[in-house]
Amino acid sequence: MGEIMTSVELTALQAAQSDAVAAAVRAAIAVHGGWLPFEDYLRLVLYAPGLGYYSAGSVKFGAAGDFVTAPELSSLFAHCVANQCAQVLAITGGDVLELGAGTGSLAAGVLTRLAVLGQLPRRYLILEVSAELRARQRQALSALAPALAARVEWLDVLPAVPIAGVMIANEVADALPFQRFVIDGAAAYERGVGLSADGQLIDADRPASPVLLAELARLAPQGWPPHYESELCPMLSPWMAVVAQALAHGVLLLIDYGLPRHEYYHWQRDRGTLRCHFRHRAHDDPLLYPGVQDVTAWVDFTRVAEAGCEAGLEVTGFCTQAAFLLANGIEAEVAAADDAVARARLAAQARVLLLPGEMGERFKVMALTRGFDEPMRAFALQDLRRSL
Ligand SMILES: C[S@@+](CC[C@H](N)C(=O)[O-])C[C@H]1O[C@@H](n2cnc3c(N)ncnc32)[C@H](O)[C@@H]1O
């Protein structure tokens, strides 16, 4: 926390994009009377059509981008997710629906593996809000065998007829716009974005609204430390409600970096969980390079569970990514490599996915189900639901 981002040269294209996004933010601040809620700031810098980080053409994922996600890091991740999907699909039949499919790596790996397991879904549906990523996914998935590629369909909205099967959301909940708050003594503020006298974007705090005050009292009934700042994601609940509506029978697998609430709002985490990613550097200044850096916050998994239950789903499992991957056969996947070189490469990737100091414990997996009572193989090794 509190890192200073040392200056990084933007390309001319990135600088132009960032200037255009900053101009859009300034205009929005003016429309809002001088103060823009942080959630609205994020909607602009991440998702403004043609301009935002996810909507415009930056590389984002992988070595040449800003961050690496598990499916980009290793095919092992997709294979383990597919092993879990196969168990569910054998009971529910139906479809896989992936939310926010990034570059399409997970979709490609899951479909390929499900074909090997003889458990292909009827369709592999993708809901992607970014037109640019959707184009990238189309290109990546067109390289699949025609019998697999033919199952992929892109959706503009969630299906009106609810599906049976599996929904997957890897690193999507952390990408939803969130709110920031600041506790200072007895006072609570909502942190938004304003303008300095010379027109620069700055943090700007307003007294918390009655709605935010009530939410803060609910999140920490025993009270907050005197100096504290953090984040919360009011959008999670309406998002979950529409996602849940589209699931008739089966499992929503939500995978993300996050914590149960009592750890998320631990008194020692007094600078919150907000993180920005730009060219593999993490820092905590969301006003830097608007539109060309990713801005995220960790996921409060207690909120995910509450939102799922409100939406009529059941929380049937919660564990670390390491426990999920081990229970879904990651070791056997490594052992099955064609030769010693491939095995060594996969073993190195498995370490990053599994180790506590890497992705193994920061990332959690939650299963939210409807009408699905079978114990899932994912949670054979660990059940953290009591921590929620
Ligand atoms: C951090 S990326 C993760 C991508 C991919 N799942 C992976 O693991 O590589 C977040 C993704 O979620 C998408 N996204 C954000 N909000 C979304 C929403 N409301 N519905 C569907 N996708 C969304 C973004 O466009 C992007 O593809």
* Closest ligand 1 atom to Cα of 54: 25
- Determine which residue's CA is closest to atom 7 belonging to ligand 1: 102
pLDDT at 58: 67
- Compute the distance from residue 231 Cα to the ligand 1 centre, in Å: 19
- Compute the distance from residue 171 Cα to the ligand 1 centre, in Å: 6
- Determine which residue's CA is closest to atom 21 belonging to ligand 1: 100
pLDDT at 14: 86
pLDDT at 59: 67
| Confidence at 320, pLDDT banded by 50, 70, 90 | very high
pLDDT at 1: 35
What is the sign of the dihedral through the CA atoms of 174, 179, 184 and 187? negative
Q: Which mutation among 42, 54, 245 tests ligand 1's pocket best, with the greatest number of atoms within 8 A of CB?
A: 54
What is d(CA 353, CA 252) in angstroms, rounded to the nearest whole number?
21
Q: Which mutation among 67, 103, 129, 176 tests ligand 1's pocket best, with the greatest number of atoms within 8 A of CB?
A: 129
For the stretch 236-271, pLDDT in tens is 999 999 999 999 999 999 999 999 999 999 999 999
Judge whether residue 8 has pLDDT over 70. Answer: no
Judge whether residue 229 has pLDDT over 60. Answer: yes
* Closest ligand 1 atom to Cα of 133: 27
- Compute the distance from residue 225 Cα to the ligand 1 centre, in Å: 33
pTM score of the predicted model: 0.95
pLDDT at 3: 44
- Compute the distance from residue 111 Cα to the ligand 1 centre, in Å: 19
* Closest ligand 1 atom to Cα of 170: 6
What is d(CA 203, CA 206) in angstroms, rounded to the nearest whole number?
10
Q: Give the ranges where 54-93 is alpha helix by DSSP (H).
A: 70-73, 75-92
* Closest ligand 1 atom to Cα of 296: 1
Q: Which mutation among 46, 97, 124, 128 tests ligand 1's pocket best, with the greatest number of atoms within 8 A of CB?
A: 128
Tokens coding 32: 């809002």
Rg (CA), the chain: 21
Can you tell me which residue has the tokens 């892109």? 154
What is d(CA 368, CA 380) in angstroms, rounded to the nearest whole number?
16
- Determine which residue's CA is closest to atom 23 belonging to ligand 1: 100
Tokens coding 253: 């697998």
- Determine which residue's CA is closest to atom 4 belonging to ligand 1: 102
Residues within a 6 A CB radius of ligand 1: 54, 61, 69, 71-72, 99-102, 106, 127-130, 133, 170-172, 175-176
What's the residue count for the chain?
Answer: 388
CB of 271 closer than 8 Å to CB of 252? no
% of the chain with per-residue pLDDT over 70:
97
In this prediction, residues 318-343 reach a mean pLDDT of 97
Judge whether residue 90 has pLDDT over 90. Answer: yes
For 252-275, give the secondary structure using H, E and C. Answer: EEEEEEEECHHHHCCCCCCCCCCE
Judge whether residue 4 has pLDDT over 50. Answer: no
For the stretch 150-199, pLDDT in tens is 999 999 999 999 999 999 999 999 999 999 999 999 999 999 999 999 99
Query: Pseudo-torsion of CA 354, 356, 357, 362, nearest 10°?
Result: 90
5: closest CA among 201, 193, 291, 276?
A: 276
- The per-residue pLDDT of the chain, averaged, comes to 94
For the stretch 9-18, pLDDT in tens is 788 888 999 9
For the stretch 60-79, pLDDT in tens is 776 777 778 999 999 999 99
Distance of CA 30 to the CA centre of its chain: 30
- Compute the distance from residue 119 Cα to the ligand 1 centre, in Å: 25
For the stretch 107-155, pLDDT in tens is 999 999 999 999 999 999 999 998 889 999 999 999 999 999 999 999 9
In this prediction, residues 369-378 reach a mean pLDDT of 96
Indicate the helix (H) or strand (E) that contains 166.
Answer: strand 163-170
- Alpha-carbon separation of residue 164 from 95, 154, 247, 383 (angstroms): 6, 17, 6, 25
% of the chain with per-residue pLDDT over 90:
88
| Confidence at 49, pLDDT banded by 50, 70, 90 | confident
